[in-house]
Amino acid sequence: MQIYKVGGAVRDRLLGKPVTDIDWVVVGASTEEMLAQGYRPVGADFPVFLHPKSGEEYALARTERKSGRGYGGFTFHASPEVTLEEDLIRRDLTINAMAEDDQQNLTDPYHGQRDLEDRILRHVSPAFAEDPLRVLRVARFAARYAGLGFTVAPETMELMRQLSESGELEALTAERSWKEISRAMMEDQPQVFIEVLRQCAALKVLMPEVDALFGVPQPEIHHPEIDSGIHTLSVLEQSALHKQPLTVRWACLLHDLGKGLTPKEEWPRHIAHEHKGLKLIKAVNERFKAPKDCQELALLVGQYHTHGHRALELKASTLLELLQSFDVYRRPQRFEEFIAACEMDARGRKGLEQRSYPQADYLRGAAKAAREVAVQPLLEKGFKGPELGEALKRERLRALKAYKENA
């Protein structure tokens, strides 16, 4: 029985990056031996066990073969006869198919260390094409390591393209897809994730609404980059540079989907794209079963981001409607995330990345003015029920008019 550290822990140590999760593989052992040593089994699908003291996961070396469609369409074989090399060859990328023993002696049968040095993301074997989830995983690794100069090997990109065109991506569950997408959104360069998906034709399968933005022009006076798809990538890039949370990054990706519906004869203008895009944003949200907070913010940003840009020009009544839509009195954080998404949108334009965004503080001030209207004096005047709501609205409108005059 031999135990090896495998996968990401080995890769990140060789890259000089912090090692967070450690995967262990056990070679030459049976389920009975693991149980006899106090390891606790987890799950019915894989021969995986929890260490009796550390609680870390230890998996028996196994082989796998395709038995159906999608991520779950595999049968596994684990036995003491399965070698370390056989276990490693079923992995996705060469840089994830290395192992080391407790003396840090490296086992690298598929040249992962060389690919690390050459900054290449390369598949281990043709079996890569049996798992459609790997298209998203490779794109996510590309987003993570783009800053180090990593690129996808041409032959791996070709396999990803074949997978994208095979219909296999459609067999992925919403949960598995969202897990990869949400992790990719939080990488250092999430725009690279979208770029790689587009290069291998996966984007038009997974998110045709985003793919449709590429090649759609916008007025150059507002968008020096012109292309709506390039703009979306730039907004996503800005959201990562400014360390925005997942909710904001997701909203940034989807905020302009309505521009993909504009008839060509109306280009480069996109009248009412905010409203037109809502059904598309909703479709993407539902397709991946995005968390409720991500869904809500994406829809609100899609509908109101131009209000954010025009904040200083808005009438007090329009400002009040905007604040009410976000329920700033009970959910101030959601409005703060809306402001952040608007600022990322404003900065995601060629040559304007460093522009100031005075609308942010103006909107915060407006929300503060509305929130500071006290309810107690209205209660003391005898207002209650719907009448109280109307009276509160009038006082908030008055406060916003005063705020506008003094801003």
- Tens place of pLDDT per residue across the chain (407 aa): 899 999 999 999 999 999 888 999 999 999 899 999 999 998 666 789 999 999 899 999 988 775 555 555 556 788 888 999 999 999 999 999 999 999 999 999 999 999 999 999 999 999 898 899 999 999 999 999 999 999 999 999 999 999 999 999 998 999 999 999 999 999 999 999 999 999 999 999 999 999 999 999 999 999 999 999 999 999 999 999 999 999 999 999 999 999 999 999 999 999 999 999 999 999 999 999 999 999 999 999 999 999 999 999 999 999 999 999 999 999 999 999 999 999 999 999 999 999 999 999 999 999 999 999 999 899 888 888 899 989 999 999 999 999 999 98
Rounded to whole angstroms, the Cα distance separating 27 from 379 reads 73
Rounded to whole angstroms, the Cα distance separating 371 from 276 reads 31
Rounded to whole angstroms, the Cα distance separating 246 from 86 reads 37
CB neighbour list of residue 273: distance below 8 Å, 6 or more residues apart: 256, 258, 259, 261, 262
Instruction: Give the position of tokens 């759609």.
Output: 216
Identify the sign of the CA torsion 134, 139, 145, 150: positive
> H/E element holding 107?
strand 106-107
Task: List residues bridging with 120 in a β-sheet.
Answer: 151
DSSP 3: E
In this structure, the number of other CB atoms found within 10 A of the CB of residue 228 comes to: 26
For the chain, give the number of residues.
Answer: 407
Backbone torsions φ then ψ of 172, nearest 5 degrees: -70, 140
The ranges assigned to domains in the chain are 1-117, 376-406
Top-level class of domain 1-117: alpha beta
Buried b (16+ CB within 10 A) or exposed e, 281-295: bbebbeebebeebbb
- Residue among 126, 29, 137 nearest 82 (CA): 29
**Residue 100, helix vs strand vs coil:** strand
pTM score over 0.85: yes
CB neighbour list of residue 346: distance below 8 Å, 6 or more residues apart: 309, 352, 355, 357, 359
Task: List residues bridging with 66 in a β-sheet.
Answer: 74
